[in-house]
Amino acid sequence: MRSLRNFFLYKCLFALTFWNHVSLSVENELFTSVSNNSPEDGSDKKINSLPLLYANSHQSKANFDWVVIQNTTESLSLSEITNENVKRLVALLSNIRQGSRLQNLTLTNVSVDWNALIQILQTVWHSSIQYLSIKSVTQLSDIERCEFDYSGTSMKALIMEKVVITDLFFSQDDLYKIFADMNIAALTITDSKMIHMLCPSSDSPLRHLNFLKNDLTDLLFEKCDKLHQLETLILQRNKFESLLKVSFMTSRMKSLKYLDMSSNLLRHEGAGTQCQWAESLTELDLSSNQLTDAVFECLPVNIQNLNLQSNQISSVPRGMAKLKALTELNLALNHLADLPGCGSFTSLEFLNVEMNSILTPSADFFQSCPRVRELQAGQNPFKCSCELRDFIRGERQSGGRLFGWPAAYTCEYPEDLRGMQLKDFHLSELACNTALLLVTALLLTLVLVAVVAFLCIYLDVPWYVRMTWQWTQTKRRAWHNHPAEQETVLQFHAFISYSERDALWVKDELIPNLEKGEGCVQLCQHERNFIPGKSIVENIINCIEKSYKSIFVLSPNFVQSEWCHYELYFAHHKLFSENSSSLILILLEPIPPYIIPTRYHKLKALMAKRTYLEWPKERSKRALFWANLRAAININLPMADGRRF
């Protein structure tokens, strides 16, 4: 029953208690009743009550409320700390003796002067509190030299965020000495415009230092040899400029393992001075600085995890740095044009080159970097070409080690492939294999030459080319010699082409039957109409052009005559050039197809497409033959007088 009464009593006291300037939040059941379960010895569980004398705004200052903190409480948060209530806060904290369960204290919105802050720190230093966090110190003033007792403390870590100093003139040593000599494991001062920090006056137990978002420069811890146990140093978002000086700063920190120098103004020009890093340093963050390729001249030799993201690196110089222990390398958001080789990074397992300027990564990367387990290369402006195809093939053969595949890997060039995922990009082996392409082109050329040569031989193309050239030259000479006579006047009804072996039939049968009798026909015969002094080819062309028709007496003798072939060619040329039907074929004797030479393909075509007259062996049919022949060549020639040869 007594435990139950205590429970309700404490609940009522908590409901009535509040601060005029201090708001109180307690974690982990700060205000709770005592457990109903009694200890094994049967006695009631004792309650350690800590008086907090804050005047209630509805009562006089003589009346005080009580805040009860159970001995199982581990965390406490207080806000709105001012100079007026510092004494009451100190009184509260003074009762938190070592051995209490309260370990975590958070103070927010602290508006006090320097002496009040020192009182709070000194009181906490000798309490059971191990982790103190002070946030938003907005009116820190009246800074002066003071003594601080660091002995007999349970403190392990101090965090101070957003400290605003209102003094314009004060000794920097008075401020920084208090924090530099703290005998704790972790110290954090962030977002406070801190411009310097003193080296501890004796060997420091500090293992973790965090000075994020301040105004620290290259002068920090210059020649400081008191931080032998420091393992983690965070100097992100400050104003460091020289990577060389940063290396000298760490050279005396014998236990340093992690260093964060990201978001500074770091440069390294490679002036020739050798950088000196802590040999124990294994993780280094140099992202978001102004470092170039020369940074690889100034890196810790035992580094395992290196972050160079968001710098101005265009390449990784070969042989410049031998980082045999390096396993993780981040080069994202730089200006790399290709993947770095692993000649200097023999243990590399993770590589990040996202958002660089890589068009065609080296196809042999995975062969040269066999230990790389993961490659992040997305968001690059890839040029979809044969080189990229070889890179993708090499990646697939290596077991698929591309991080973010396939969504983060798309073509940027050429324009027509922009946005296409690399997994959908394909090129034939012929398009990418130069040797195969050359062999294929050579074979096709040889085949083409062979085909052309065969056709030339089979169709006697050189002969036709020669004849075309002769015809062209003859026409050109005729134009230059007699330009006024270029409009040809028909002088003959027909030009006769025949073999000399068939001359007897032509002279005894053809000429007499056409040139005599009714409707006399004027024939052009080479023996009587060729002009002496002119070439045979020129005479043939002139006679064909001055004749309305061309009569070809076909026989086995005809196909064996070279000149008959010339006459047939030029007559056929006239047929196509004037779009006329000027050819008359007379089959004197049957011609077996196998005896027709290859170059007589036009004759074969003419006999297959055009109707020809066949000389009848029966005399009774010859009258009809001559009638049909006369009808084919019957035309009134535009000549004033009779026959003119």
pLDDT higher than 80, residue 59: no
Please answer whether residues 385 and 361 qualify as being in contact, where contact means their C-beta atoms are separated by less than 8 angstroms.
Answer: no
H-helix or E-strand containing 82? strand 75-82
495 & 481 share domain: no
In a domain, 604, yes or no: yes
114 & 25 share domain: yes
pLDDT higher than 50, residue 40: no
Residues 310-332 have pLDDT tens digits of 999 999 887 766 888 999 999 99
Please answer whether residues 552 and 497 qualify as being in contact, where contact means their C-beta atoms are separated by less than 8 angstroms.
Answer: yes
In a domain, 28, yes or no: yes
- pTM above 0.85? no
455 & 562 share domain: no
Boundary (domain end) residue, out of 142, 175, 204: 142
Number of H helices and E strands in the chain, helices first, is 18, 21
20 & 127 share domain: yes
576 & 451 share domain: no
Q: What angle do CA 457, 459, 463 make, to 5 degrees?
A: 80
Residues 158-196 have pLDDT tens digits of 999 999 988 878 888 888 999 999 999 999 999 999 999
Helical H segments across 55-101, by residue range: 86-94
Of 375, 337, 372, 342, nearest to 356 (Cα)?
A: 337
* Cα 101 to Cα 77, 105, 130, distances in angstroms: 15, 12, 10
Least confident of 102-116, 132-146, 510-524, 542-556: 510-524
In a domain, 267, yes or no: no
In a domain, 417, yes or no: no
For residue 638, the model assigns a pLDDT of 64
Cα–Cα dist 527/486, whole Å: 25
In a domain, 338, yes or no: no
Please state the rounded mean pLDDT for residues 72-92.
86
Tokens of 96: 């938190």
Q: Provide the pLDDT confidence category of residue 271 given band limits of 50, 70 and 90.
A: low
Boundary (domain end) residue, out of 90, 114, 142: 142
CA 213 distance to own-chain centroid: 35
Report the percent of the chain where pLDDT is more than 70.
76
562 & 522 share domain: yes
In a domain, 562, yes or no: yes
Tokens of 38: 């009694």
Nearest-10 crossing angle of helices 562-578, 461-481: 70
470 & 571 share domain: no
Q: Which residue has the higher pLDDT, 132 or 630?
A: 132
- Which residues fall within 8 angstroms of residue 608, CB to CB, at 6 or more apart? none
ω before 414 within 30° of 0 (cis)? yes
**Phi and psi angles of residue 194, each rounded to the nearest 5 degrees, phi first:** -70, 130
Cα–Cα dist 265/244, whole Å: 13
Where in the sequence is the domain holding 478, given as residue range(s)? Answer: 434-487
In a domain, 215, yes or no: no
Boundary (domain end) residue, out of 470, 487, 504: 487
Return the C-alpha torsion angle 67, 71, 77, 82, nearest 10: 50
- Which residues fall within 8 angstroms of residue 149, CB to CB, at 6 or more apart? 122, 125, 126
Cα–Cα dist 550/536, whole Å: 17
452 & 549 share domain: no
Please state the rounded mean pLDDT for residues 237-266.
96
Calculate the average pLDDT of the chain: 79
The DSSP 8-state label assigned to residue 273 in this structure reads P
For residue 61, the model assigns a pLDDT of 33
pLDDT higher than 60, residue 251: yes
451 & 532 share domain: no
Q: How many domains does the chain have?
A: 3
1 & 126 share domain: yes
**With helix as H, strand as E and coil as C, how does 520-569 read?**
CCCEECHHHHCCCCCCHHHHHHHHHHCEEEEEEEECHHHHCCHHHHHHHH
Least confident of 88-102, 435-449, 465-479, 573-587: 465-479
In a domain, 316, yes or no: no
For residue 461, the model assigns a pLDDT of 66
554 & 464 share domain: no
Cα–Cα dist 533/173, whole Å: 125
For residue 357, the model assigns a pLDDT of 93
* Cα 90 to Cα 19, 104, 117, 159, distances in angstroms: 15, 16, 10, 19
Q: What is the CATH number of the domain that holds 624?
A: 3.40.50.10140
Please state the rounded mean pLDDT for residues 567-586.
66
Q: What angle do CA 597, 598, 600 make, to 5 degrees?
A: 70
* 3 state DSSP class of 345: coil
566 & 464 share domain: no
